[in-house]
Structure formats: C-alpha cells, structure tokens
Chain A
C-alpha cells in the first residue's frame, strides 16, 4: 500500500515555451481557439525529407526570458526549461529569492535531452572528425543539464532531477514533485519537461511511417501520424495551506498519479497495462471513473495510439467515455514536454472553465467505437472538476496524473 503524504499539493504557477506562444496565457488562448501552430522546420535543414512540418518554437530569444544563466553555456532544451520555470515562478506571484531561501527544487522530463547540442557536435564530426568537436559545446551535452538549468536560473538549492523516461517524462516529473511536496521533502517544486527538435527523431519517426505530412489529426478517420515538436513547460507546486495563506491563485490540486511499465514492446503500447495505470491513478487520487470529467489524451495522431488509448479508456470507463482530446493536434508532439503541456492545459481548463479541443477532426474514426468525443475544433465551455492527463512512452513507460479544481 502507498503512504499518502500529509500535505495537499496545488499548482500555483504555469510557464510555457511553445510553438503556440510563450507564457501560459498565450499558450492557453491559442489552444482554446483550436489554432494549429505547426509549420515547416527552420531549426535544421529539412531538405530531402518528404515531410517537413513540425511544432517549432520559431525565433526563440532566450535572453528575453532568462535573468541569471548565460544561454551560451546551456543547450536549447535547458533554455526552454529554465525560461518556462522562470515564467511559472512569475506567474505564481513569487520572487525567485524566496524560493532560493527554502527547500525548493526542480524535476524535468525529457526524451532526447540536449539533442540540438548533440546534432551540432555531429555536424562538427561530419565535417572534420571527432577530434574537431568544439570543447565549449561538449559540456552542454548531458541531459541532466535540463533541470540544472532551472536550478541555476532560479538559484534553487534543492534537488535538480532530470527524468529521461521519454514521452511520459513530464508526468513522471509531476508525480515525483507531488510526492516531494506532500511528504515535506520540498516546500516548492518546479515540475515539467523540455525537448528540442532534431533531425534524428524526424528521420526515425518518418522511417517508422509515423510522421504526418502536414496535419496531425488524432481521432480522425483520416489521421496520418504525428508531427515532431519542441518546447519547455513548468508547473510550480506548493502545499495547499501555504498557497491559501499567501493568497495565491490556485489553478488546480494534484490529486494523485500512477506510473507503470508495459514490459512488452519498445514501441507498441499495451492497452491492458495502460488501463491498469489509469485504475491505479484513480486509486491514488481517491476518485471513481464516473468522477472524471475530461481526459487530456496522449493522442499522438497515429492509428495505433488512438486504437490503444481508446481501448484502454474503454476498459476502465465502460461505455461512458469522458470527452477526450489531444492538444498535439495543434502543437505537435513535444516529446518529454508533452504530458507537461497536457498538465498545464488541464490546470487552465479547471481554473478557466473549458475543455481543450482536438483541432482538425472532420470525422471521428468510427473504428474507435461509439461514444468518442474528441471535442473537435475549438474549446468547449464547461466546468470540469476532475481531469485525467495521459502520458505513454517508448519502452512502455506509462504515467497518468489526476488534477482537480479547488473549490
């Protein structure tokens, strides 16, 4: 049996760096409008690729958002994470110095770490051999630099943990941060994730037949795959009591979470194992399936994911499926940051009162069976109380978080 921590934990700050905008407000407005912000790739040369669209953060200027760390010494993913964390702290109405004076840390998820740095080095290797690797760039390679960037930017003295559990990593991060705050190990935690666009993932997904040409449409009968994407996201977690005491805006309460592993196949998700993860997340949060008002889907845009995810949800919810949508239809698959963006939009959905849409759905795939409501087009006004956020990954790493509105 699990031991539930003594303290309730809430989200009071949100930060986003994404193709849909920088800052949680811009991001939320773009998602609510159902705006697709994917576009042709510019950060690497996509010539030779039949499919060139991705969710890129164009013209990102780290110096505009970062106050302490020098972007020259940190990779793109670390810059995304640190910028998102800085924005989340501002959004929470806190001064970084106050976080620095207490037990505060960060936990960030990623799939490919500092992949843009690695590809810069591969470029040098291709041109002049390994002996020509630029020494000042080599130091930016380790993936652990992502959470380190957050702690360095904010001057935090607690743990800086980077979780590399691929595409569910942000949910892993959120779960761990929740435990740390609930149990008193930390007073504040920044949880989220970051990844950068890179050629190798673009090539890999194309080769797997999983890459869409231009439009990612999860749940649509004519879906054709994912779009790769990048960005950084951070949520600030603190104890409920203190948030109330300091008059903070409380977006949502973290009610519980679960993680498990399919242990079946590296790239094929298993519906039974995902259903077990959903049930365990409900138990952790102390909720019944009937209380879930919305599911923020993993929703990558492949046929396999849709079929597996809906089958798993059906196994738990029976014939009364909650509305289920995918924000990847708008921003693409931000990999290690994906479930963090999902958590962010869940917080705003609970606080602002809406259900996020799936863009581009013209005809819901009848093969998914009856009762699938992907909230097509634009956001729907609603007052969700409890929502569920999915993250599945390479290696069968499932992680599901449950968030609730604080009345």
Chain B
C-alpha cells in the first residue's frame, strides 16, 4: 500500500457549473404577523411586531422573555376537521403554509410534485413529551402509538404529501438557520434530476416551552429578542416549466450556495459564499438592491453577518434591509424561507420594480453559511 501522502494529489476544482434559475410561482406564510403573505409583507415593510401573547399555548411555565406566536391556527378552515387530532403544532403550521401556497398557485400540484421542508429538529415538543411519557407512565411503553409519528422529523413533510397526493421527492432538511438556502439547493438539484416537476420548498418551527427555555438558557439569542414560530412555503419550478404554462413568476431564484467555515472565520466563509453565489449567476455586487438577513438577534452572529455582507458588496449598503425576525421573532428552522417570504411580501407591499436583486443570507454558529440570490418578478 502506498502512503496516504503519495496517493493524495492536490485537486484543482474546476469552475462551478452555471446555476439553473428557478421560478417561484406561489408563496404562503403563517407567522406571528398573521395568516398569509400580505400580513407578513406589511409587518416587515412597516416594522410591525407580531402577536406577542402566548396565552393557552403551553402548560409548562415559559421563560421570562418576549415571544412571537400565531394566535389562532385556522386548522378546521385550512386543514380540515377530521384526522387532525394527533397532528402536532409543527405539522399543523406546515400544513397551513402548504394550503395557503397551493391556494395561490395558478396550476395543479398533483402527483409529480415534491416537498422539501426545512426544520431544526422536527417538533422538539413532540419528541421530548413522548420521551417524558416513557418516564412518567407506570410502564415505559404505555405511550400513545398515534403520537409516535410526530417524534420523527419527516412527519410534517409526509403529512403534506399524503393530504395533497404528492408522490415526488419528499425530503426533510434539518438545516436549522440554514434550512432555507439548503432546501432551495436540494430542490434545485431534485428538479434538475427529474425527481419532481415542481416542489413545495418550506420551513417550519413551532413555539413550545422546551425550545423557549432552550433559547433562553443557552444565551444564543439576545436577551430582548423574542422566540417565535411560523412556517412559510414557496412553489418552485424550473423557469421554462412555469413560463411555458403561462404562470406568472413572482421571483426568480438565481443562485443558492452553501459552505462551511471554521470558528473565527465565519465572516470570511459567509462573504465568500455571497461572492460565489453572485458569480455563479453572473451578477455584480453593485446590482444588489436588498438583503434579507438571517442572523438578526443571534448573539455574535448578527455582526458577523453584517460584516460579511458589507465585505461582499464592497462596503456599500444595499437600499433595502429586510429583517423579518424583527416582526416574527426567532423561528430557527423556518427562518430561511420566512426571510424569502418576508422579502417577497415586502416587495409586493411596496410595489418594488421587477428586476430588483436581493441576497438572502444565513450563518450558524457551527460553521454553516449560505446565500441565495433572488430577483423580483411579477409581484403586483
């Protein structure tokens, strides 16, 4: 056997292949700002804080910090009356976002459609409560079997497929703050490979006592930053598919790039994925007119994100800052797609001109960094 050193020739990576633009043809969102894209767009554009009263949401006591929650989930109206008894809040939020998206989709979803859903850890409330039952019951197996599927992270994506008959690719992306850009990147590849003709790309996070305490105790979130919840979804297809069918393109996703940086080099890593994303779609930094930020409120990361974006844009600040978390709170696995929905909502609310170019950035403490590049379409 030859030595490891002799075997490993340095690899000159070639240029990245050009990115295929994707078309966003429908959007749905549910958050503390309200039900639907309009509510989110108005809140983001006007800087309105979402609903802040968690009454009735938790039997456990909550930490002493602000929250942003969805007051009344329209379950019966948007999901149905039957078969919802065992759905957890994560799945309900995802199903509502899905319903809102499909209601505005000018085509038919059907069999050849897929789901790519971002999460942090599924429903942490469902898994930890199920686990708690094994400790609290007289015998550890006296759990409710119908709640078991809720403990599995792909529960919400599976339910969406079942309820809407979507037989295409069905993936759950445990990306946390990176869920949005990672899900888009995954969906772009799945569309290119023919695993579906169109994909619902979403993100979901529920508010619960378990994660509220987790954020509160970990110190990862600024002390005054609210813990939130929500779900958002985009119908994404390859651009020719949408235009051939005459569906208006609300926005084009020109690039989504991800990377990983070691501790201490996160800003550099983020700046270089922003640069790579712009290069990959052939745009220049000075064309960027908006940034939708992902690290708002995250201790240490907010400044890293600002610095990286400024560096990648050559020190100039874009005209439009979108900080969706100022309205909806910290929504972890839902953040990424809410950043995009918030951007689209704000574009629509302010009647932004088609062609405005935006960055959607994300950075996580572990080292994950990502950036999507969007272009405003026919939002009016």
Q: Are B155 and A394 in contact (CB under 8 A)?
A: yes
Min C-beta distance of A148 to chain B, whole Å: 4
Residues of B within 8 A of A129 (CB): 61
Contact B154 A393 (CB under 8 A): yes
Bound complex: CA A273 to CA B193 (Å): 19
B173 within 8 A of A: yes
Asked if A261 and B189 sit within 8 Å, CB to CB, the answer is: no
Residues of A355-407 whose CB lies within 8 A of B: 393-397
Q: Nearest A residue to B161 by beta-carbon distance?
A: A263
A162 to B183, CA, bound (A): 11
Q: Which of A93-107 contact B (CB under 8 A)?
A: 93-95, 98, 101-103, 105
CB pair A260–B260 under 8 Å, yes or no, is no
Please determine whether B168 and A260 come into contact, CB atoms closer than 8 angstroms. Answer: yes
User: 8 other contacts beyond A113-B153, A145-B366, with CB at 8 A cut-off?
Assistant: A93-B7, A122-B128, A146-B174, A198-B131, A204-B130, A259-B190, A261-B168, A266-B158
- Comparing A163-171, A221-229, A302-310, A343-351, the segment that makes contact with chain B is A163-171
Which B residue sits closest to A6, measured CB to CB? B17
Q: Which of B213-254 contact A (CB under 8 A)?
A: 213-214, 217-220
Q: Is A131 part of the binding interface, using a Cβ–Cβ cutoff of 8 Å?
A: yes
A102: B residues at CB distance < 8 A? 10-13
List residues 141-191 of chain A with CB under 8 A from any CB of chain B: 141-146, 148, 151-152, 155-166, 172, 176, 179-180, 183-185, 187-188
Query: Quick check: A105 and B260 within 8 Å, CB to CB?
Result: yes
**A163 to B171, Cβ gap below 8 A?**
yes
Q: What is the CA–CA distance of A245 and B159 in the complex, to the nearest angstrom?
A: 47
Residues A133 and B124 in contact, CB atoms below 8 Å apart:
no
Q: A49-B140, A394-B155 are in contact. Are A142 and B132 (CB under 8 A)?
A: no
Indicate if B303 sits at the interface (CB-CB under 8 A). no
Q: Is A27 an interface residue (CB 8 A)?
A: no
Number of A-B contacts (CB under 8 A): 298
Chain B residue contacts of A141, Cβ below 8 A: 121, 124, 214
In the complex, which of the residues B7, B152, B193, B219 contacts A3, with contact meaning CB atoms closer than 8 Å? B193
Per the bound structure, the CA–CA distance linking A157 and B181 in Å amounts to 16
Near A by CB (< 8 A), chain B positions 80-128 give 114-115, 119-122, 124, 127-128
Whether A394 pairs with B149 at a CB distance below 8 angstroms is yes
Contacts A148-B368, A179-B189, A208-B148: A138 and B218 contacting too (C-beta < 8 A)? yes
Interface residues of B in 128-169 (CB under 8 A from A): 128, 130-136, 139-145, 148-149, 151-155, 157-159, 161-162, 164-169
- In the complex, how many angstroms separate the beta carbon of A262 from the nearest chain B beta carbon? 8
Select one of A130, A161, A208 contacting B173, CB under 8 A: A161
Contact present for A394 and B154 (CB under 8 Å)? yes
Q: How far is the CB of B195 from chain A (nearest CB, A)?
A: 6
Contact flag A395-B157 (CB < 8 Å), given A162-B174, A166-B152: yes
A396→B132 contact, CB < 8 A: no
CA distance A248 to B155 in the complex (A): 41
Instruction: Flag if B214 contacts A138 (CB, 8 Å).
Output: yes
List, in ascending order, chain B residues with CB within 8 A of A19's CB. none
Given the known interface contacts A261-B114, A263-B162, the answer about A203 and B141 at a Cβ–Cβ threshold of 8 Å is: yes
Of A90, A95, A143, the residue contacting B174 (CB under 8 A) is A143
Q: Is the CB–CB distance between B61 and A200 below 8 Å?
A: no
Pairwise interchain contact A245-B9, C-beta atoms closer than 8 A: yes
Residues in A neighbouring B170, C-beta threshold 8 A: 165, 259-261, 263, 395-397
Chain A residues with CB under 8 Å of B114's CB are: 261
**Mask of A261-275 contacts with B, CB within 8 angstroms, 1/0:** 111111100000100
Residues of chain B contacted by A286 (CB below 8 angstroms): none
**A245 proximity list for chain B (CB < 8 A):** 9
Q: Does B47 contact A (CB under 8 A)?
A: no
A interface residues, Cβ below 8 angstroms from B: 1-3, 48-50, 90, 93-95, 98, 101-103, 105, 110-115, 118-119, 121-123, 125-126, 129-131, 133, 135, 138-139, 141-146, 148, 151-152, 155-166, 172, 176, 179-180, 183-185, 187-188, 198-204, 206-208, 242, 245-248, 258-267, 273, 393-397
B261 within 8 A of partner (CB): yes
Taking each of B9, B154, B157, B213, which has the highest tally of chain A beta carbons within 10 Å of its own beta carbon? B154
Of A49, A95, A202, which is within 8 A of B5 by CB? A95
Whether A152 contacts B366 in the complex (CB less than 8 A), given A112-B152, A141-B124, A159-B258, comes out as yes
Q: Is the CB of A261 within 8 A of B166?
A: yes
Which chain B residue has the least Cβ–Cβ distance from A178? Answer: B193
Residue in chain B with minimal CB distance to A93: B7
Instruction: Please tell me if the beta carbons of A144 and B192 are within 8 angstroms of each other in the complex.
Output: no
What separation, in Å, do the CA atoms of A79 and B167 have in the docked complex? 34
Among B139, B151, B169, B193, the residue within 8 A (CB) of A260 is B169
Q: Min CB distance, B60 to chain A, in Å?
A: 6
- Most-contacted residue by chain B among A90, A112, A125, A142 (CB, 10 A): A142
| A-chain residues with CB within 8 Å of residue B219 when the two chains form the complex | 135
Report B-chain residues with C-beta under 8 Å of the C-beta of A121. Answer: 128, 210, 214
Q: Which residues of A contact B131 (CB under 8 A)?
A: 118-119, 122, 198-200
- Nearest residue (CB) in B for A98 is B8
The distance from the CB of A373 to the nearest CB of chain B, in whole angstroms, is 31
Residue B1 interfacial (CB < 8 Å): yes
Q: Is the CB of A161 within 8 A of B186?
A: yes
Taking the closest CB of chain B, its distance from the CB of A122, in whole angstroms, is 5
Q: How far is the CA of A266 from the CA of B120 in the complex (A)?
A: 20
Separation of A130 and B173 alpha carbons in the complex (Å): 27
* Interchain CB contact under 8 A, B8 and A126: no
8 closest residue pairs by CB, A with B? A395-B158, A2-B194, A143-B174, A164-B153, A261-B170, A204-B148, A148-B366, A263-B161
Question: Quick one: given A144-B366, A200-B151, are A164 and B162 in contact (CB under 8 Å)?
Answer: no
Q: Which residues of the partner chain B approach A118 to less than 8 Å between Cβ atoms?
A: 121, 124, 127-128, 131
